[in-house]
């Protein structure tokens, strides 16, 4: 996997298009969620793009700056393309995201809104549930925090 980190203003148009297309493909089409993906947080975030050997975007996440959504930095829009699942790519994606948080904001906790079905995956990366599960776009979610 070839990883590229960029701030919003540094993204090439093609990278932004690929990221938005993958986000729509997974969140809107596959998960059947009608929601406003362009939530305003992209401008204040790091974007991680993971491309396969052919240059196809197959993994993506964003790290939103502290103070935008939460007091802590927040990892979200975590995606692995359906054809790239099952080979550990999601774990490598999150490890890259956690490393960026540690480099950019050392000593800070990290907050996520996880799909509840993936709670064990995020727990294996050091996150713990905070509060009660809730519905977001018809999908059970759980707010989780990784301590500093």
* CATH assignment at residue 116: 3.40.630.30
Determine the pLDDT at residue 25: 95
> What's the whole-model pTM score?
0.94
Taking a C-beta distance cutoff of 8 angstroms, is the pair 113, 77 a contact?
Answer: no
Regions of the chain short of the pLDDT cut 50: none
Determine the pLDDT at residue 46: 97
DSSP-assigned beta bridge partners for residue 145: 111, 128
Taking a C-beta distance cutoff of 8 angstroms, is the pair 77, 60 a contact?
Answer: yes
What is the count of structural domains for the chain? 1
- What is the extent of the structural domain holding 82? 2-146
Residue 64: is it exposed, middle or buried by C-beta count within 10 angstroms (0-12/13-18/19+)?
buried
């Amino acid at each position: 996997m070839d990883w590229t980190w960029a701030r919003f203003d540094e993204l090439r148009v093609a990278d932004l298009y690929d990221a938005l297309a993958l986000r729509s493909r997974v969140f809107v089409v596959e998960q059947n969620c009608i929601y406003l993906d362009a939530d305003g947080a992209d401008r204040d975030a790091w974007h991680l793009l993971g491309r396969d050997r052919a240059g196809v975007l197959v993994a993506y996440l964003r790290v939103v700056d502290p103070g935008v959504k939460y007091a802590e930095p927040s990892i979200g829009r975590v995606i692995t393309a359906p054809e790239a699942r099952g080979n550990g790519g999601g774990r490598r994606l999150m490890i890259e995201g956690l490393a960026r948080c540690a480099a950019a904001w050392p000593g800070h906790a990290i907050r996520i809104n996880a799909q509840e079905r993936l709670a064990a995956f995020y727990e294996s990366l050091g996150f713990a549930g905070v509060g009660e599960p809730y519905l977001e776009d018809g999908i059970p979610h759980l707010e989780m925090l990784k301590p500093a």
